[in-house]
Each structure stands twice: as structure tokens, then as C-alpha cells.
Amino acid sequence: MKYGHFSNDGLEFIVTDPNTPRPWINYLTNEKYCSIISHCAGGYSFYKDCRSERTLRWLPENWHFDRPGRYLYIKAKGKSKKAKVWSATYQPMRVKPQFYEARHGLGYTQISTKYNGLLSQITFFVPEHDDCEIWLVRLTNQSNKPQDLEIFPYVEWLLGDYHLELRYRNIMNLYNRVWFDRQHNCVFAKKTASWGDLNIQSFQYEAFFASSLAVSGYATRKNAFLGKYNTEATPRGILEDKFKNISFCSGEDGIACFKHNLKLKPGSSKEFVIILGQTEPENIQKLLVKYRNLSHCHKALDETKKIWKKRILDNIIIKTPDKDFDLMMNIWVKYQLYICNLWSRSPSFYHEGSGGRGYRDSCQDSEGILAINQELTRKRILKIASLIRKDGTSAPGWSDIFGPAGHRPNKDHQVWLTYTVSAYIKETGDLSILSEYVPYLKDKWRGGWEIDPNFSGGPTTDGEGTLFEHLERNLNFAFNNVGERGFPLIGHADWNDAIDAAGIKGKGESVWLAQALVRSLKMLAELAQISGQKQKTDDLLNKAKTMAERINDIAWDGAWYKRGFTDDGTVYGSKINPEGKIHTNAQSWAILSGITDKERLKKIINSVDKYIDGPHGLALFAPAYSKWNPKLGRISMFSEGTKENAAIFCHAAMFMIVAYCMVGEGNRAYKSMRKLMPNVQPDYDLYKTEPYVYAEYLVGPGHPYLYGEGAFTWITGTAGWSFMAGTEWVLGARRDFEGLRIDPCIPSNWKNCFISRPFRGAVYEIEISNPRGVQHGVKEVFVDGRKIEGNLIKPFKDKKVHRVRVLMG
């Protein structure tokens, strides 16, 4: 693979060429402090919320340059010759090293370079329980001469609200205070005020930067340190021997930089630590003492590695004839899924970083991670349920700092939580969650961006009800809030955020949402049934039937399902549309919701083959919109093939892959999945993004020249759906109310495969053999040598390992 490769055990991706087509990044994080780091140490950090509490500066356009970052300048003083200066992580000086390597691992990144006979190795990590990041540095003199060195660790502060920074760059600096504290040998930094949503308050946190080496110099002002018209690539303070101690920065761009003197004999090494963080001021001293102690740092690093390894490896493991597929499922998809669950869609190298968590995204992330972390899902379900109002609508998201979000209510939020709850009960068998009492939300938002004038700032809850009641109100709202054809109103968009004009006048309808609603009504009916509520079961099933009939009557287009109707009644996603004729979601969800008969199913599959599939995977729809369509909105305005305008949107492609598996199309499912896998892309100069995590999308065929380029990696619903597609559907070890169902749907040329699946207190080691080369269909299942009826394994709950043999055919 060009630019790098996986380690033999698959636990690291090793970048071997710093000039990758895009920065290839890692997330080092615990639940509160997160640091995003590229293969050259570029990127930023934040505490609790990536919008309002940013520590380091980073702007979205910066991925072109991959700066600024966490830097360590090294200066080797020569006796007679001019001093040599370089950067230990290649950036920002980009002096060509004799050796370069960046290892992105689970919870750490290690960057090593060698230059001028000096090997530097920096391991970056975020300890599990502290609000800081650690750079554990080791310098080794591999030359045969003594080295007289000056070392300059360096960061640039953002401090505070990133969105305000983008708008009011010149003003936000005026709030900065950065100072060197002699007593603690530490640079502290803060803004005088912080802006929470609508309130201004005094900045609660303090950022800090410290080293375990003796400090012989310090700098806090960017302009003075870099010099006129200079960038981090040519800091005058270092290159021209103009380093001046500057202990205080007020009202301008702040940095933190130290000067350390270090002499290294041939063959000798020096290890030290840099500590960077942001937290409540009273915590800082403790962190400095703890992490200036090197042995403690090593302990914390080992602990962090151990925790991540356990999270990732100590659960589902698969073995198939495709080792690349195994590597994704066993390690990297799980890791990506954790990051999505921890931080939702905000912190990225590409996104706007608006902070908080989306409702729809969180429902899917927490469903995706269920098989490997049920506690997290349970916590999320109850949190998300508290965003449901008594009228059955849901707030579109929340921030742990500012509370529920209140802008632009999409109309689809109501359908998502039922899937997650149903999956949770199937995974755990814990029906009691349905009768947990959860408050109803009473919020200050009247809809749109408007605040309700009657909002008194008083209680934010409106009584309480059981989780089941919340879900019921959700679905009743979705069922009743329909347009003239009886499909749910699309409002400010549905799953597809960019169909944002179709329903702004309150009339546009979404066929996809109608299908999604059928799926949730059926799932809630199952929950009603197993909790003994007969009448509710019937009522929900009737509603599902009514909606399904409507879809089949009105939305069938001859060879596929239409996608919706705009405010003025114009159809979209239909054969009569010159562009956006066929949308994949309306086909995949026709299958996921089980509304289609055999004949239509065949037609859908043929249409997807014909119009949607291509060498780089399944597109979101076809053809792309080439001009602005004010009836649809933003979807038609993106460059053809990018984002929601007919990209190969991996998340939506996964919907189709699961749908393929539901109808026994193992070859199609696997082929489509492989095209999206980041680790088997045919050309990384075209694909560009990380080979170890999914992109949100690959540019689609409508684009004039970028077809196949990866975009917006890491934080995407693809991770959750891909994990479910691979383990629950392709390998087919699937949670169900009564136990674990074994129902693989594999490519016909797989003769044998294996999945180890922990489930309700036991582990099932499932060997699947497929001697007759079928794609689907289980002939016999043996559990611990005994043949069982059907393909459902009743939970053993005995903490033991059980051997399961599955014969397909």
C-alpha cells in the first residue's frame, strides 16, 4: 500500500511517507478531553465540547497544510557550522528526515523521525481519567559525536468558542490572556469570558502547557516568536537566534513555547514529557505533579493502551476468507465506532465543529455499538428519550454543555429511537428499560431558530412517562403529521439533511420517512406484544399496514419507489425527473421496512444494479443534480457527486447492504461492502483519505474528475451500520428477543467462516460451512455437538464458551 501499511497484528497503521494525500489522523480521547492528531502531529484539542471549549487553534482549510499542531523544534548547535533546525514530527519545517514513521494505534499515536543522527520518538496519548494529553518524548543520539541541542515544544492557543473565532477572529483575540508562571514552570492560558449559547460568563477553564525538563526560556506571543510575515515553518525566534523570553500575552494571538537545553553523548538517550490540557483551574497542579513523573507517564500509557485493546478485542471476532474484511470488522470499525459514540459528528478535520450531538446520529451510533458495549447504549437511550416532548416531537440533538438543541426540526427524528430500543432489548433481554420513567422535554425553542416568548427560563421538563410512552408519542406524531397523500411531512429534511427545501412550506412529504415509520411501528408493535399490551400491538400494526399500503399505492414508480413530493406536489426520485430519478434510500428502506412483494423486490434490485451501482460503490441516487432546484434545496447545489448530491454515501450504501442481506443477496452485499472498505482502495492518490477508517462518502460518478475520492472521514454513521452489516447480517449472528439467531448471508465463494459472538453472558464460537456455495440459508445448526431445531440459540447465560456448527445449503 502506498504511504504506509498495517502492522502485522493489525493494531497499528504505520504511515511511512509524511507526504500523504491528506492528513491521516487519529483521535486520542477519553470521555472529556480529546485530541485530534495527524501523522505529522497537526490538529487540535478540546475539553468537553469541540465548539465552545477548544484548546488549540485549527481551521477547516488547514487540512491543505496540516498546521498548526503539537510541535517540537530541535536545534543542533554546531561549533563552527550554522546550527541545524528541524521538526521532530516533520511538520511544520518539513526538513526531509533520514527516517520517518507515524504509528496510529488504539488510543495513541507515535511519531518517529531521524535527522542529523538524532532519533526522536514522541508518543502522544490522552490518559483515561485526566483532562490532558501527554507527549512522551525520547531523543537518542545515534551519531558518534556529542550533540548540543536546544529543544522547543510549541503549541498555538485558540481558547474558547471556535465558531466565534471563525466570525470574529480579530475580536476574540482581545480576550486572550496567556502567561508563564515561574513557580510552576508552566504556561497558563484562558479567555476572560466564554459564550454559552446565549449567555456570557467568565471563562471556567484554564489551559496549560508544561514540560518535565528544566525551562531555560519561554514564549507566549505568536507574533513576537514567529517574527514578521513568518509562519511556523520559519520561526525567527529559533532560526535567527532571536528567542526572547516573553512571559505574558494579552489581547493577541497566544502560543506556548519553551526552550530547553540538552546535551547528549553518542549513544545516549533522554526521555521527557510535555503536558498539555484544559480543565478546571483547581485540577491543574495535581496533573503537573503526576505527569512530570516519567514512570507515571509510562504507567498511564500502558493503562490507556490496555483499556483500548480490551474495548476493541475483547468481544466479537470474525475469521473469513477475506483478511481485509476481518481487519476492518475486528479492529478498525470498532475503533471508529467508539469515536463516533464518544463525540458524535462534531470534532473533525473537515467539519464545522458545531459541538453537541445529533439525535438521529446518536440513535444509530448507540445501536451500532450495542453488541460490544451495552452500558453505553442504555445510557444514551435514556438521554435521548429525555429529548422527546409531550407532543411527540424530538429536539434534534443536545450538547452536554448547553442542553437540548432547538434549531431546524427535521421531521425524521421521531422514528429513530425505537430501532435502538428494540435492538437493545434483543441484545440484552432487558425488557424493564421500557418501563423506566423519563422526563418529557419542555424547551425554550418554538421551532426554527425562534425562542418561545413564553419560555420563562423555568422548568425544562414537562412531567414524565415511561420509555415506551415516549416512543409511542414519537410514532403517533410521525403517523399523524402527514401531508395530502398521507406520507409524513418532510419539514426541514429527513435522513438526508440536504433535501431541506422540499417541505419548508409545510406540505412536502417524504416516502423514505413513511418507510422508516413503518419499520418503527412494526418494531414498537413487537415491543408492545412482548410486554403484553395486546391492543397497542394491534393499533401499531394497523398503522404500519395503513402506511405500507399508502406507499405501495402511491409511491411505486414502475421499477422502483419514488422518494417524495415537494411543497407544490412535484415528485422527486421518479422516472419523470431528468435528474435524481432513483434514490437508493427509498429502495433499501422498502426492504428494511418489509413493505415490498417478491415481484417489486426483483425490480428494485435490478434498478439499483442498473442505475446506482458502479466501480466505486452504490451512489445515493442517480443522476446527480446539475443545477439548483429551489424545490429541493441544498441537495441540488453541491458539486455533482459530492456530499448529498449523489455521492457514494457510505452510510446509505450500508442501508442497501443490510437490505441485500435481508433478501439473501450475499454476493451483492459483500461486493458492495468491499468497494467502500478504506483498506482495499485501488488507488490512494485518488482516494486520498485514511486507509483505516471509513469516509463519509466517496465522490460519485457525476463529478467531472474526482470520482472515487474519499471525503470527511471518521465521524459517520457508516461505522455503526457497517459493523452491524458485517457481523449481524453477513456473518449473520444476529440478536433477537428469544436468543441469538444464526442466519448468514455470505458471498457464494466463501466455503468457511467464523464468528465468536458474546451474547447475554455466554460466548458462541460459530463455525459456518458452506460446501454447496450458497449465499443464504441454514440447513443445520449444532450447539455443543447437539442439533437444534431451527436457527435460534436460546441464551445459555452460563459464562461459558459454546461451540456452534452451522451448515448452509
Stretch that binds ligand GLC, among 63-71, 315-323, 357-365, 413-421 (CB under 6 A): 357-365
Stretch that binds ligand GLC, among 56-64, 490-498, 606-614, 679-687 (CB under 6 A): 490-498
User: By C-beta, is 581 or 651 nearer to ligand GLC?
Assistant: 651
Among positions 4, 358, 396, 503, the unique one binding ligand GLC when judged by CB under 6 A = 358
Binding mask 427-456 for ligand GLC (x = CB under 6 A): ------------------------------
Binding mask 587-626 for ligand GLC (x = CB under 6 A): ----------------------------------------
| Residue partners of 235: CB distance under 8 A and separation at least 6 | 73, 154, 225, 226, 227
Question: Is 443 one of the catalytic residues?
Answer: no
**Residue numbers 646-665 binding ligand GLC by CB under 6 A:** 651
**Residue numbers 86-145 binding ligand GLC by CB under 6 A:** none
In the three-class reduction of DSSP (H, G, I as helix; E, B as strand; rest coil), residue 652 is classed as helix
Stretch that binds ligand GLC, among 305-313, 492-500, 665-673, 780-788 (CB under 6 A): 492-500
Q: Which of 782, 788, 10, 769 is nearest to 333 (CA)?
A: 10
Q: Could you tell me the smallest distance in angstroms from the CB atom of residue 495 to ligand GLC? A: 5
| Residue partners of 779: CB distance under 8 A and separation at least 6 | 807, 808, 809
User: By C-beta, is 276 or 499 nearer to ligand GLC?
Assistant: 499
State how far the Cα of 621 lies from the Cα of 648, in Å rounded to an integer.
9
Among positions 496, 574, 585, 636, the unique one binding ligand GLC when judged by CB under 6 A = 496
Alpha carbon separation from 723 to 334, 336, 359, 523, 726 (Å, rounded): 7, 10, 20, 21, 5
State how far the Cα of 231 lies from the Cα of 241, in Å rounded to an integer.
16
- Does 637 bind ligand GLC (CB under 6 A)? Our answer is no
Q: Could you tell me the smallest distance in angstroms from the CB atom of residue 509 to ligand GLC? A: 18
Closest-approach residue to ligand GLC (CB)? 497
Stretch that binds ligand GLC, among 78-86, 401-409, 494-502, 576-584 (CB under 6 A): 494-502
Among positions 644, 665, 709, 728, the unique one binding ligand GLC when judged by CB under 6 A = 644
Q: Which of 710, 723, 658 is nearest to 679 (CA)?
A: 710
Paired sense of beta strands 445-447 and 450-451, if any: antiparallel
The Cβ-side half-sphere exposure at 534, using a 13 Å CA radius, reads 0
Stretch that binds ligand GLC, among 443-451, 496-504, 507-515, 672-680 (CB under 6 A): 496-504
User: By C-beta, is 59 or 498 nearer to ligand GLC?
Assistant: 498
Yes or no: say if 62 and 44 are a contact pair by the CB < 8 Å rule: no
Q: What angle do CA 261, 266, 269 make, to 5 degrees?
A: 60
User: By C-beta, is 152 or 649 nearer to ligand GLC?
Assistant: 649
Q: Could you tell me the smallest distance in angstroms from the CB atom of residue 359 to ligand GLC? A: 9
Q: Which of 86, 228, 1 is nearest to 685 (CA)?
A: 1
| Size of residue set near ligand GLC by CB under 6 A | 13
Q: Could you tell me the smallest distance in angstroms from the CB atom of residue 712 to ligand GLC? A: 8
User: By C-beta, is 87 or 414 nearer to ligand GLC?
Assistant: 414
**Residue numbers 292-311 binding ligand GLC by CB under 6 A:** none
In the three-class reduction of DSSP (H, G, I as helix; E, B as strand; rest coil), residue 763 is classed as strand
Task: Find the catalytic residue in 361, 443, 497, 500.
Answer: 497
Q: Could you tell me the smallest distance in angstroms from the CB atom of residue 146 to ligand GLC? A: 55
How is 718-761 classified by DSSP, letter by letter?
Answer: HHHHHHHIIIIIIS-EEEETTEEEE--B--TT--EEEEEEEETT
- Residue 519 cell numbers, joined: 419499520
| Residue partners of 744: CB distance under 8 A and separation at least 6 | 666, 730, 731, 732, 753, 768, 770, 776, 778, 806, 808
Yes or no: say if 135 and 157 are a contact pair by the CB < 8 Å rule: no
- Does 361 bind ligand GLC (CB under 6 A)? Our answer is yes
- Does 696 bind ligand GLC (CB under 6 A)? Our answer is yes
Q: Could you tell me the smallest distance in angstroms from the CB atom of residue 36 to ligand GLC? A: 17
Stretch that binds ligand GLC, among 358-366, 601-609, 744-752, 785-793 (CB under 6 A): 358-366
Q: Give pairs for 4-11: CB < 8 Å, separation 24+.
A: 4/691, 6/327, 6/679, 6/692, 7/103, 10/327, 10/330, 10/331, 10/332, 11/105, 11/106, 11/309, 11/331
Among positions 59, 382, 498, 774, the unique one binding ligand GLC when judged by CB under 6 A = 498
Q: Could you tell me the smallest distance in angstroms from the CB atom of residue 593 to ligand GLC? A: 17
734 conformational bin, left if phi > 0, alpha if psi -120 to 50, beta if neither: beta
User: By C-beta, is 49 or 644 nearer to ligand GLC?
Assistant: 644
Beta bridge partners of 208: 188, 277
Instruction: State the Cα torsion 711-714-717-721 to the nearest 10°.
Output: 110
Other C-beta atoms within 10 Å of 96: how many? 10
Stretch that binds ligand GLC, among 317-325, 475-483, 489-497, 771-779 (CB under 6 A): 489-497
**Residue numbers 332-351 binding ligand GLC by CB under 6 A:** 345
User: By C-beta, is 42 or 508 nearer to ligand GLC?
Assistant: 508
Q: Could you tell me the smallest distance in angstroms from the CB atom of residue 787 to ligand GLC? A: 44
Among positions 469, 497, 665, 728, the unique one binding ligand GLC when judged by CB under 6 A = 497
Stretch that binds ligand GLC, among 205-213, 223-231, 430-438, 491-499 (CB under 6 A): 491-499
User: By C-beta, is 130 or 361 nearer to ligand GLC?
Assistant: 361
Q: Could you tell me the smallest distance in angstroms from the CB atom of residue 625 to ligand GLC? A: 15
Q: Could you tell me the smallest distance in angstroms from the CB atom of residue 383 to ligand GLC? A: 17
How is 136-147 classified by DSSP, letter by letter?
Answer: EEEEEE-SSS-E
Q: Could you tell me the smallest distance in angstroms from the CB atom of residue 379 to ligand GLC? A: 20
- Does 716 bind ligand GLC (CB under 6 A)? Our answer is yes
Yes or no: say if 617 and 653 are a contact pair by the CB < 8 Å rule: yes
Residue with cell 459517520: 716
User: By C-beta, is 715 or 745 nearer to ligand GLC?
Assistant: 715
- Residue 6 cell numbers, joined: 498495517
Q: Could you tell me the smallest distance in angstroms from the CB atom of residue 587 to ligand GLC? A: 16
User: By C-beta, is 15 or 493 nearer to ligand GLC?
Assistant: 493
What crossing angle do the helices spanning 666-676 and 650-662 adopt, rounded to 10°? 160
Phi, psi of 781 (to 5 degrees): -130, 130
Catalytic residue numbers read 497
Query: Given the rule CB under 6 A, which residues bind ligand GLC?
Result: 345, 358, 360-361, 495-498, 644, 651, 696, 716-717
